[in-house]
Structure 1
Amino acid sequence: MDIFKKQESKVRSYSNNFPVVFSSAKGCWLYTKDGERYLDFLAGAGSLNYGHNNAVFKQALLDYIDADGITHGLDMHSEAKAEFLSALNTHILKPRDLDYKVQFTGPTGTNAVEAAMKLARKVTGRSNIVTFTNGFHGCTAGALAATGNQHHRGGNGAPLNGTARIPYEGYAGIDSLALFETMLTDNSSGLDKPAAVLLEVVQGEGGLNAASDKWLQQLEKICRDNDILMIVDDIQAGCGRTGTFFSFEPSGIKPDIVTLSKSLSGYGLPMAVVLLKPELDKWLPGEHNGTFRGNNHAFVTATQAIENYWANDEFEQHIKARAEQVSKAIQRTLRRYPSLFVRSKGRGMMQGIECQNGDMASDISKACYENGMIIETAGPDDEVVKFFCPLTISESELEQGLHIFEQAVDSVAEKLTRKAS
């Protein structure tokens, strides 16, 4: 551990909560060189939806590397890119009646968000972007301006401009869309007409707040009626995490722009894209640039992910069954300890349980770690324990993790009882 303490910046965070050195990983398991293993209920913060070292993806990548396939090609054409685009169109876009161009950005989600915001401003000629309370969109300046979390915003060291924030659905009991619509029509509201709205359908870092279909449909209508673009940030909630490939599918809305990253590559390799309606493709060549916007290794594994998991509905059915398993465990916990927990949150395999405070959530996470499971917290005060295991997890492995969680809750509850007495 000394090398990390001596050489690595204090900006690191996950390793502070899980102070162990990992050497290998497979499926939903992380291993140390000493043979200890931990169930992974973090999954790279949603970057490992198909698990660690997925055997199908790994073999395809090894074969590609062995054949001296293109690794880095800027935005030049390659066979790997063509195969990815074909798979995306055939198995994801066409079956959902979605017509999008694909923009390859720099390899991070925040870069995709930056590109989406820039494009909206370029197309509309307006600069303001409306974002929502508890939203998280990345830590570069433009995306950070759209992010609500003060901890992350405070790290910028300069004013964050170009956005206006309105309440997300359910925030403080406010009818946010009625407010938004009124502000758009009131010449004295102080709201400059926005180029776009930017939102997560399920807010990841913000605490697993899930928008209802009705709310999303109403928001889309407001955008259409007022010539405002709708950007869905599906970086964490996409690629099956909420039960469908795109988080917005159940609502029937069709965003103008969608950002994807995290599990898009399928293997944890850096990759990000912006999906945009064809009529919005007003970019000039190289106008949004980046040296690593052509990660061909990620194209290879992303193609495998789409073809092996999304060519039919079997994987969706698996996710649905595992999501029900998580829901039942959360409901059991709420019934057993009604005074310690507030409610369940999220949907699909993006669920959590809201504790009375962040300290309690932290104690549960620590107790899980001590018993061989990595699980994190989310929310404005880190008050939500966040279940985020790989979507490929088996029923028995998930049950094992849920048992560890329930044991952790029992131990924390017992400590609180002793403290109160």
Structure 2
Amino acid sequence: VCEESGKKNVSCFSKPESTYTNIHVLATDSVFSDIMSGNPKQHFRIPVPVRAQAIICLGKVCLKNEKQAKNLADVFALLLRHFEPVVVRNNAFVVLYDLCVQYTGLVDPRLPMMTRALNDKIRFYRHQAMMVISSLMAEDYVKFRGQTVYRYLTVLADENEEIRSFVESFFTRILIPRQHGLFADVFVKTICALNCWKGHPLYANAAHNNREFSLQELTVKRERIYRFMMEHLDESAKFKVVNEIMTRLLTRFLDEDGAARPLPLPQTEEESGGRVLTDVFCLLSCRELRLHMKSVGGGRDIAEQQRAMGSDENEDPNLQGERRDAAEKSKKYMQETMIPTLLQLRNLMQSETSPFVYHINNCLRELLRDFKDEIATFCNGDDQLAVELLYDLNIEGRGG
């Protein structure tokens, strides 16, 4: 190893006995005490190229010896720590990949250390980690679940375009076709994980041990991830996401049945819970997540909505009927669940002088934009709110 790395002055390694031990020491210790040469007080730093080469050699030994592989798997994982030289980390990552393929039981316990590399500052190493983890998922050695989900999703907002493009392609070509409803299942958890919010008992695990992947201060990156996910939601998936936001996330701030103590409203927009609320109201306002609904009267007419939904005048009448039924059900859901929940939450926010009143008002205005003649009905007797929303919409319509 030393000769291949151009280091021939390491005297203690001239002895052939305990070759395995020698390689182990070279791979894992950056500072070595020359005990074997008879001078235990003499220390020298093992050159990085020697360590890197020793890691590869040790990996080859482990591929032929399962017992050694199990003993050293954690050692290789520790070599992924951020303060190790990048060539050492890279070689350790390659060895772990080979071991994970050879001995599948070694994967899951070391996955948290491996996925941390997806957030590394060095682009080359980040790219290598992304390729290795993607390969493991493609070959089904690693499941897309747990912390792997949220950490891998953050790569969609990577600063490097090549890395972003590869991950987008990997999602669209492999993960999404393989797992129907992939994003619908993790959407709300992802909101909490990206903002590192542990305040909700149902979603606390998503943010657990995820601080270094938090995008709490990076709104643009969070938006990029949300938009990619929304682009790959069909109508049923959109409904599932919206329903989970309404019935599991937002209702926990309300004391509806007294079964559970309501969550306290965040005090500021900057805290993690505040970022979650802000994101949720923005997402509910997005047309990409909007449920397709049929308005009566002052909103868009049916032909316009059908064009927006991608329907055609020559479309199969049965399919048109299904669209109308879906639109009616969506409107009923909005009228009976979404708007009443948002109105209750708005009243609570107003009573506590919450900074999120502005955001929830914007959300209500966007949701009711296509129902101008029905705003009073949707507002459930809150005439003042109905007047305010209608006024804002009319001002916008006049370009004011």
TM-score range (shorter-chain normalised) is under 0.3
Choose 1 or 2 for highest CA Rg: 2
TM-score, normalised relative to structure 2: 0.22
- More relative contact order, 1 or 2 (CA 8 Å, 6+ apart): 1
Query: Which has more strand, going by share of residues?
Result: 1
TM-score, normalised relative to structure 1: 0.21
